[in-house]
């Protein structure tokens, strides 16, 4: 718990950390609030009040159907939050599985897995999404799986050198000699060494998932029609950007701010959990070692 408090304090101590925590906190709060309340009903439209400017009735104006833009953006925030969380979890699971394969004690198996990752990582995410859209259609699952596969492969590729060094270190060999299994080495020796890089890559995958949702929805293979999302708001209004640019600015601004906050949060968290860059964490480790020595 003490280490967790130190990490949280270190993140909040920086301006980038405060900005990212506040933005992400607002995002989560608005997503939860949208489950029970929005200023207007999502399905309430007014053909006589289309493309309206911001007012007390419609805080961010209306779109081409007369629907309230602010209400759709509120509801869309929860869809993008779910996509970001699920895509990050998928990429983390796939990436860690591949890392375990590449850090295998069998050099032949390790080399084969690296060749396979290099071959698959060259496939564009959009192509994966288009292939998945054939059996699944336009759905949230397409965005999650396509982003998860792409970022999971990239995660394994980036973390492989550090994972190999940790798996072949003296500590890992000693653990194996003492009868520890490969899973123990992976969790207690490999994971702590790649954790800073893992955090940065996962924060990038979350931000890229939000961007990918907008792009894939615009192409018609992302979030289906009728499901609120920031990409849906962009896709329905971008064709009228020359006439009503304000309806494009709001969802575009939200995507930009959230992606920047996710990337900043990953960088700050990476520095906070790394004892090399966090003096408070080093001091806590030294105090813990001293107390353990006295107890002995």
Which CATH number goes with the domain that contains 220?
Answer: 1.10.3720.10
Phi, psi (5° rounding) for residue 62?
-130, 165
Domain count of the fold of the chain: 1
pLDDT at 289: 45
6 inside domain: no
Q: CA 118, CA 10: separation in Å to the nearest integer?
A: 36
Give CA 227 to chain center in angstroms. Answer: 21
- Our CA angle for 155, 135, 233, nearest 5°, is 70
1 inside domain: no
At 277, list the tokens: 């860059």
Q: What is the pLDDT of residues 40-62, one digit of tens each?
A: 999 888 888 888 888 888 899 99
87 inside domain: yes
Q: What is the pLDDT of residues 280-294, one digit of tens each?
A: 777 776 545 444 444
pLDDT at 290: 46
pLDDT at 292: 45
Q: Distances from the Cα of 296 to the Cαs of 85, 259, 278, 289, 291, in angstroms?
A: 44, 48, 28, 11, 9
Tell me how crowded residue 196 is: count the other CB atoms within 10 A of its CB.
20
- Looking up tokens 């949702």 gives 213
User: Average pLDDT, stretch 53-76?
Assistant: 91
Q: What is the pLDDT of residues 226-255, one digit of tens each?
A: 899 999 998 888 877 887 888 889 999 999
Q: How many helices (H) and strands (E) does the chain have?
A: 12, 0
216 inside domain: yes
4 inside domain: no
Percent of the chain with pLDDT over 70: 92
268 within 8 A of 17, measured Cβ to Cβ: yes
41 inside domain: no
- Which domain range does residue 88 map to? 63-275
pLDDT at 202: 92
Phi, psi (5° rounding) for residue 68?
-75, 120
Q: How confident is the model at residue 107 (pLDDT cuts 50, 70, 90)?
A: low
Q: What is the pLDDT of residues 17-47, one digit of tens each?
A: 999 999 999 999 999 999 999 999 998 888 8
* Residue 196: strand, helix, or coil: helix
Nearest to 209, CA basis, from 254, 292, 143: 143
Q: Indicate if the pLDDT at residue 178 is higher than 60.
A: yes
Which range has the worst mean pLDDT, 183-192, 246-255, 260-269?
A: 183-192
User: Average pLDDT, stretch 166-177?
Assistant: 82
16 inside domain: no
8 inside domain: no
At 244, list the tokens: 């009503």
Give CA 66 to chain center in angstroms. Answer: 33
Q: CA 85, CA 225: separation in Å to the nearest integer?
A: 21
Q: How many CA atoms lie within 13 A of 131 on its CB side?
A: 10
The helix-helix angle for 107-121 and 140-167 (nearest 10°) equals 150
Q: How confident is the model at residue 169 (pLDDT cuts 50, 70, 90)?
A: confident
pLDDT at 287: 45
């Amino acid at each position: 718990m003490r280490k967790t408090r130190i990490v949280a304090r270190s993140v909040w101590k920086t301006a980038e950390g405060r900005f990212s925590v506040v933005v992400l906190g607002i995002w989560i709060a608005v997503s939860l609030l949208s489950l029970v309340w929005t200023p207007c009903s999502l399905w309430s439209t007014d053909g006589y009040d289309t493309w309206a400017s911001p007012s007390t009735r419609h805080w961010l104006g209306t779109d081409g159907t007369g629907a309230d833009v602010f209400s759709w953006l509120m509801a869309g925030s929860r869809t993008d939050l779910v996509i970001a969380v699920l895509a990050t979890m998928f990429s983390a699971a796939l990436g860690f599985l591949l890392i375990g394969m590449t850090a295998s004690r069998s050099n032949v198996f390790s080399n084969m897995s690296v060749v396979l990752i290099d071959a698959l990582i060259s496939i564009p995410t959009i192509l994966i999404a288009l292939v998945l859209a054939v059996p699944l259609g336009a759905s949230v699952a397409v965005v999650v799986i396509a982003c998860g596969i792409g970022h999971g492969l990239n995660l394994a590729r980036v973390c492989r050198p550090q994972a190999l060094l940790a798996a072949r270190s003296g500590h890992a060999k000693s653990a194996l000699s003492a009868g520890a299994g490969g899973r123990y080495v992976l969790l207690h020796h490999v994971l702590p060494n790649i954790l800073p890089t893992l955090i940065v890559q996962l924060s990038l995958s979350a931000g890229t998932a939000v961007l990918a949702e907008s792009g894939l929805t615009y192409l018609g293979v992302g979030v289906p029609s009728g499901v609120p999302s920031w990409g849906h708001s962009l896709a329905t209004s971008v064709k009228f950007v020359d006439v009503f640019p304000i309806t494009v600015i709001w969802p575009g601004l939200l995507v930009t701010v959230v992606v920047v906050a996710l990337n900043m949060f990953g960088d700050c968290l990476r520095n906070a959990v790394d004892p090399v860059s966090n003096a408070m964490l080093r001091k806590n480790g030294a105090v813990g070692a001293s107390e353990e020595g006295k107890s002995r």
